[in-house]
């Protein structure tokens, strides 16, 4: 029992340590199924490396003679931003970057030429496709519609494919180009001259007439 005239002693509230750590732990985001809205709200940052073989379409661009050569991994990063606007709803942004080096086929000497790729883009996300089409026509920003999840790897692979040179070639080819052998010139076909044959016939007739 509590003594009369004394107020009860307030006991400190002790939080469970596990619950406290869980509340402090930042949310984990999966780059293969990224919730862009939540990622931007949390100002999330992700980065890492992918083997080139994991990006099938990009890896398929290597020429056959370079398939067994070691290649650089794809170094990537993605950052979310919720950009506040006075008197308007905050904008959802995603800043992405990726870089790698990949061998391609030189269009001059047909030997492998290593091309460095480095892409960096800022993407604004809006509620739906209609809003994205409208803003894309009016603004210089790259605008996409929000989806339930976004595969960052596919997005960055698209960007790297767009960054490939249209005509890859060495500044100076390592091997001299082999000139194709010249085709032998064909001699013009000689045809008998009908006038020469006529002259010979006339000479024969003339000789025969003189012998008589």
CA distance 173 to 29: 45
Q: Where is average pLDDT lowest: 47-51, 85-89, 132-136?
A: 132-136
pLDDT at 19 over 90: no
CA distance 66 to 172: 19
pLDDT at 202 over 70: no
Higher pLDDT, 2 or 53: 53
Q: Which residues contact 189 (CB under 8 A, 6 or more apart)?
A: none
pLDDT at 212 over 70: no
pLDDT at 110 over 50: yes
Considering the chain, what percentage of its residues have pLDDT values greater than 70?
70
Q: Which residues contact 85 (CB under 8 A, 6 or more apart)?
A: 91
Can you give the pLDDT at residue 8? 57
Instruction: Report DSSP state, residue 156.
Output: H
């Amino acid at each position: 029992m509590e003594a009369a005239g004394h107020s009860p002693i307030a006991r400190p509230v002790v939080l469970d340590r596990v619950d406290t750590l869980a509340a402090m732990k930042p949310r984990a985001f999966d780059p293969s199924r990224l919730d862009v809205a939540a990622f931007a709200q949390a100002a999330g940052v992700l980065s890492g490396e992918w083997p080139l073989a994991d990006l099938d379409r990009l890896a398929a661009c290597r020429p056959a003679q370079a398939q067994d050569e070691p290649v650089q991994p794809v170094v990537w990063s993605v950052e979310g931003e919720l950009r506040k606007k006075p008197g308007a709803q905050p904008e959802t942004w995603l800043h992405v970057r990726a870089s790698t080096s990949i061998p391609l086929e030189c269009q001059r000497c047909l030997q492998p030429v290593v091309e460095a790729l480095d892409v960096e883009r800022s993407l604004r996300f809006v509620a739906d496709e209609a809003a994205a089409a409208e803003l894309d026509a009016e603004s210089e920003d790259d605008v996409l519609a929000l989806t339930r999840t976004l595969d960052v790897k596919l997005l960055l692979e698209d960007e790297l494919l767009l960054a490939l040179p249209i005509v890859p070639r060495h500044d100076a080819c390592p091997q001299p180009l082999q000139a194709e052998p010249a085709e032998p010139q064909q001699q013009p076909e000689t045809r008998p001259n009908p006038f020469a044959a006529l002259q010979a016939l006339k000479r024969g007739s003339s000789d025969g007439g003189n012998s008589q």
